[in-house]
Amino acid sequence: MSSDMRLYETFYGIDVTDWQVNFGIFTGHHKILVKEYISEGARTVDESTATETHSFIYPNHLAKTYFIEGVIEGQVTFVASGATTYLYQYKVTLCKIHEDGTDTELFTSNWVDINATLNWDTSIVTAGVGDEIVCPFWIDAWEYAELSEQERIYVKVESTCTDTTPSSCTNLVLSHTNDSEWEDLKITIPFMGV
């Protein structure tokens, strides 16, 4: 019986305020993947409007060429902010940026139907509290993808909101708080070295 020779790396998505990535398709980009959460005192943004596409880049080059193969898994968190809202679908895609600046989608969860109502309750505290939903995902990556030392990876999160009052869709937010207790956006990627 052979042992699993994959290196499983876990990354967390955060949005930093005072630092930016300029690489390939990203210019002045603040959403990044980190292996460890940074200081809770750091200036970060906790959430973004979920119905926009959000990409979190790993800002470092890898040390050598790797293959991504196995099962990619993780979770994304959506929250009602300011009013009741609706999460219809979400999709998580692992992508890479080539040395020439172009990008390629490697593996995707495809659209996952949720069709959930996230309520906003003003009676809990003066500011109000919104429901949250943590959506786990597993993506089969059995046809491996190569990632060279001159390329970088990023995670793209997309979601849709449908209801009879489309304006409430602006109250659906993607949470990416810099807080290790919640792990709002988390992804574990299986790498194999050459």
Write the single-letter amino acid at 111.
W
- Binned at pLDDT 50, 70 and 90, residue 126 comes out as low
Write the single-letter amino acid at 132.
E
What percent of the chain has a predicted confidence (pLDDT) above 70?
Answer: 92
Q: Report the chain's mean pLDDT, rounded to a whole number.
A: 90
Lowest mean pLDDT among 30-44, 53-67, 116-130, 149-163: 116-130
Phi, psi of 167 (to 5 degrees): -65, -25
Phi, psi of 169 (to 5 degrees): -65, -25
Question: Facing residues of 117 across strands?
Answer: 86
Q: How far is CA 185 from CA 8, 9, 14, 110, 190, in A?
A: 16, 14, 8, 17, 17
Write the single-letter amino acid at 176.
H
pLDDT of 117 higher than 70: yes
What is the tens place of the pLDDT at every residue in 10-22?
A: 999 999 998 888 8
| Conformational region of residue 70, where left means phi above 0, alpha means psi within -120 to 50, and beta covers everything else | left
Question: Facing residues of 97 across strands?
Answer: 103, 152
- Token digits for 133? 């939903």
Sketch out the chain's domains with CATH numbers: 7-36+43-193 (2.60.120)
pTM: 0.91
3-state secondary structure the chain: CCCCCCEEEEEEEEEECCCCEEECCEEEECEEEECCCCCCCCCEECEEECCCCEEEECCCCCCCCEEEEEEEEEEEEEEECCCCEEEEEEEEEEEEECCCCCEEEEEECCCEEEEEEECEECCCCCCCEECEEEEEEEEEEEEEEEECCCCEEEEEEEEECCCCCHHHHHHEEEECCCCCCCCCCEEEEEEEEC
Mean pLDDT, range 130-154, rounded to an integer: 92
What is the tens place of the pLDDT at every residue in 144-155?
A: 899 988 899 999
**Residue 69's pLDDT is what?**
94
Lowest mean pLDDT among 117-126, 143-152, 153-162: 117-126
Mean pLDDT, range 34-43, rounded to an integer: 94
pLDDT of 80 higher than 80: yes
pLDDT of 1 higher than 50: no
**Residue 122's pLDDT is what?**
73
